[in-house]
Structure 1
Amino acid sequence: MQVQGKYDAKTFPNAKAFLMEQMTRAQGLRLKRLSEEAYQPAQYDRDLSFAEAARRIQILEAEIELANSF
């Protein structure tokens, strides 16, 4: 899932709720694993929102992919 750009009330009426929703258990597990794999344990935090967790997961996946390309 990509979380990018700005959303207004017409295109995404629950945007505020989405941004404040707690990350899922699956996101937490994935983020923890990716942060350890990327040697960036500070990227994991138990109290992240769904959107912030998605953003960090996306960034870590890109960094790991880049590192594996060398």
Structure 2
Amino acid sequence: MRVEGKYDAKDFLAAQMTRAQVLRLRRLSEEAYQPGQYARDLSFDEAAKRIQALEAEIELANSF
């Protein structure tokens, strides 16, 4: 992410999860009673994976 002593803003922003992901992950982790799934320092990709997993788990629980 560093280019000749300067930060590449595009790479830095792409690596961090978005504000929407932060809010969604926080809500889903609370809904699934798994607060450990929420972490503020996740990458965009890791947050997407956790969101997808929590959504699937909640959907499965609601199907009973």
Count of paired positions = 52
Shift of 1:55: 0.1
Runs of 4+ in 1 over 4 A off after TM superposition: none
| Greater percentage in strand | 2
Instruction: State which structure, 1 or 2, has the greater radius of gyration over its C-alpha atoms.
Output: 2
Structure 2 gaps, min length 5: 1-10
1:2-58 CA-partner distances (Å, limit 9, x unpaired): xxxxxxxxxxxxxxx5xx710000000000000000000000000000000000000
Structure 1 gaps, min length 5: 1-16
What one-letter code is carried by the residue in structure 2 that aligns with 1:53?
A: A
TM-score of the pair, normalised by structure 2: 0.78
Q: Give the percent of matched residue pairs that are identical in Structure 1 and Structure 2.
A: 81
